[in-house]
Amino acid sequence: MGIKTPYVCEIAPDTYAINEFGLNAMFLCVGSERALLIDTGTGVCDLKAEVAKLTDKPYDVVLTHGHVDHAGGMGAFEKVYIHEKDVQMAKDITVERRKDYADTLGKMNGYNVYDYSTDMVKAWDSYPEFVLIDEGYVFELGDRSLEVFFAPGHTPGSITLLDRKNRIHFSGDACNGNTLCLGASITTLYHTAEKLKALEPYFDQDFNGHHGYAGVPSCLSQKKTVRDDVMEICRQILKGTANVTEQAFLGGTSKGANYGNARVVFNDKTPMIEEGEVPVEL
């Protein structure tokens, strides 16, 4: 028998990781006055019920980006905060895509660890209200706050959130050990990794949106070298020296290159640089 419910880990005081059957990780930050839910997952579990177990405070919901595994559960909420560039992506999510993603991850060893099925994925009755946010927006929770940073590359409107008081960075999918660069150029991703590296003096823990991915349950902060490693992979890709391999991924074929503790995945449609961008010093 597998794990029947999302498992929850308190990763710091009043800070919780909610793993949705290996599909994604959501995070709940609780302050003295209100809370913040980071991402809504695929919508397989009853996320509102999970949050209710952890806090009775009012809370806001923010999406780090508009992909199915982070925005797929947004239909359970009346209002979500999101960057303007990812709104249409979130609106394009269908119940069929949510089920396909849940099944794909299940077949990637998830079904061997978790007891869930695609029958648990229900259609939304309506979209939530989309509240647009950008760099510098701050969620005030009372005795703690989380600051938004614009971090494109994985998607055009990806964001991350920094809790300076508790020294935690929530990076979504913007820069992690398996970063997909499918929403912008390799140059954009490099500059985002460089930007997030500049924030390192302000955090000790960095949690991305896929702790406990597929059949490997985990609530650990990601490797400290990830930002440096992603930058080096981008340099190698831009120089043409990266050891690029092809891989099957989510029903298609992509390319990828590794360095250190990270991998960058891209495809033939991913530009090396976009008009107006500052080139990477190679």
CATH architecture for residues 7-266? 4-Layer Sandwich (3.60)
pLDDT at 37: 98
| Each residue's pLDDT expressed in tens, for the chain with a length of 282 residues | 688 889 899 999 999 999 999 999 999 999 999 999 999 999 999 999 999 999 999 999 999 999 999 999 999 999 999 999 999 999 999 999 999 999 999 998 889 989 999 999 999 999 999 999 999 999 999 999 999 999 999 999 999 999 999 999 999 999 999 999 988 999 999 999 999 999 999 999 999 999 877 667 777 899 999 999 999 999 999 999 999 999 776 667 789 999 999 999 999 899 999 999 999 998
Q: CB within 8 A of 96, min separation 6: which ones?
A: none
pLDDT at 251: 65
pLDDT at 108: 87
All structural domains of the chain with their residue ranges: 7-266
pLDDT at 237: 97
- Is the pTM higher than 0.85? yes
CA distance 222 to 22: 16
User: Exposed/middle/buried for 20, CB within 10 Å: 0-12, 13-18, 19+?
Assistant: buried
pLDDT at 261: 94
- Give Cα separations from 243 to 50, 234, 236, 271 (angstroms): 43, 12, 8, 18
CA distance 211 to 44: 17
Q: Mark out the alpha helices in 27-170 (DSSP H runs).
A: 47-54, 68-71, 87-91, 95-105, 111-113
CA distance 241 to 31: 47
pLDDT at 250: 63
pLDDT at 1: 60
Q: Mark out the alpha helices in the chain (DSSP H runs).
A: 47-54, 68-71, 87-91, 95-105, 111-113, 186-197, 226-239
pLDDT at 5: 86
Q: Mark out the alpha helices in 34-94 (DSSP H runs).
A: 47-54, 68-71, 87-91
Please name the amino acid found at residue 268. D
CA distance 57 to 247: 44
